[in-house]
């Protein structure tokens, strides 16, 4: 019982800390992250969903950790019936003000019935939960998907975030391999004067968790260097974010994991 209570307390703290940080920066984060997300990450997720589902017309899709809802809008423009959840009231308010169906909830306790969706997408959201929270979130994804439903989520690349230490003073951002096995398995990311704690599993842990929950692992996709990276960077006004994204030329920024129920 004690261990279960400790796990729940750790998950709750992660949720509270993440919500508090994003509540302060939701609008500026939405504006600054848009050039990269709209041109690189979201099209990648959409292309994978389309490949597996075919036409998105009338497909019921859930975006878990949807932020201001840009991915929802892009999916709806292709005929999907997409809704979303997010932890942060400011993000939910932004999304709803844009006419999107978004509610406040945590991904590890989805407020939906079993087998409600054809697909679930998630962009960099799992990393804000500790390992047990990530397992519960994936378990919830599995529960609310139809049989044959598709899950596509991006995950902060464990090599880049745990081994490839970001240092803009070094030309090629060399990796510090010994940090890959850091026992705390988390990194602190400082953005817009807010602190975000990322919980980073390694490749085998991520894959085995997906398989044990019951998903058929369809595909693992490593991040690609965007051909228009310099163009994307030129559109980002925040110098720190621009430098961070510049490092994608030398280190993988994400992995995409694709599962089928």
Helix (H) or strand (E) holding 151: strand 145-156
Listed by start position, the domains of the chain span 2-260
Alpha carbon 190 to its chain centroid, in Å, reads 17
Q: What is the pLDDT of residues 17-60, one digit of tens each?
A: 999 999 999 988 888 777 778 888 899 999 999 999 999 999 99
DSSP assignment of 179-238 equals: GGG-TT-EEEEEETTEEEEEE---HHHHHHHHHHHT-EEEEEEE----TTHHHHHHT---
Residue with tokens 């959840």: 85
* Crossing angle for the helix pair 2-36 and 239-246, to the nearest 10 degrees: 100
Q: Residue 171: is its pLDDT beyond 60?
A: no
Q: Give the residue with greater pLDDT, 82 vs 251.
A: 82
Calculate the CA dihedral of residues 10, 11, 17, 19 and round it to 10 degrees: -170
Query: Are residues 15 and 65 in contact, defined by beta-carbon separation less than 8 angstroms?
Result: no
pTM (2 d.p.): 0.88
171 token code pair: 């030309």
Is residue 113 within 8 Å of 62, Cβ to Cβ?
A: no
The predicted pLDDT at position 186 comes to 78
User: Is 5 in a helix, a strand, or coil?
Assistant: helix
pLDDT at 233: 74
Q: For 65-144, where are the E strands, in sequence order?
A: 81-86, 102-104, 117-123
2-260 homologous superfamily: Vaccinia Virus protein VP39 (3.40.50.150)
Which pLDDT belongs to residue 231? 77
């Amino acid at each position: 019982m004690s261990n279960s209570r400790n796990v729940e307390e750790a998950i709750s703290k992660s949720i509270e800390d993440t919500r508090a940080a994003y509540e302060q920066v939701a609008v500026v984060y939405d504006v600054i992250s848009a050039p990269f997300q709209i041109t690189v990450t979201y099209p990648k997720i959409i292309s994978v969903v389309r490949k597996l589902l075919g036409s998105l017309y009338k497909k019921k899709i859930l975006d878990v950790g949807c932020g201001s809802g840009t991915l929802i809008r892009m999916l709806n423009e292709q005929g999907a019936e997409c809704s979303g959840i997010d932890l942060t009231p400011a993000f939910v308010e932004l999304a709803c003000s844009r006419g999107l169906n978004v509610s406040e909830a945590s991904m590890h306790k989805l407020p939906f019935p079993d087998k409600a969706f054809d697909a679930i997408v998630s962009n960099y959201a799992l990393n804000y939960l500790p390992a047990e929270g990530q397992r519960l979130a994936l378990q919830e994804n599995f529960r609310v998907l139809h049989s044959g439903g598709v899950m596509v989520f991006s995950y902060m690349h464990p090599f880049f975030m745990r081994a490839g230490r970001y240092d803009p003073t070094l030309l090629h951002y060399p990796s510090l391999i010994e940090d890959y096995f850091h026992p705390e398995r988390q990194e602190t990311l400082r953005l817009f004067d807010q602190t975000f704690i990322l919980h980073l599993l390694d490749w085998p842990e991520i894959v085995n968790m997906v398989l044990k929950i019951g998903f058929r692992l369809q595909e693992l996709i490593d991040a690609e260097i965007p051909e228009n990276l310099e163009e994307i960077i030129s559109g980002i006004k925040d110098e720190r974010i621009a430098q961070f994204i510049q490092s994608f030329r030398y280190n993988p920024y994400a992995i995409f994991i694709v599962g089928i129920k």
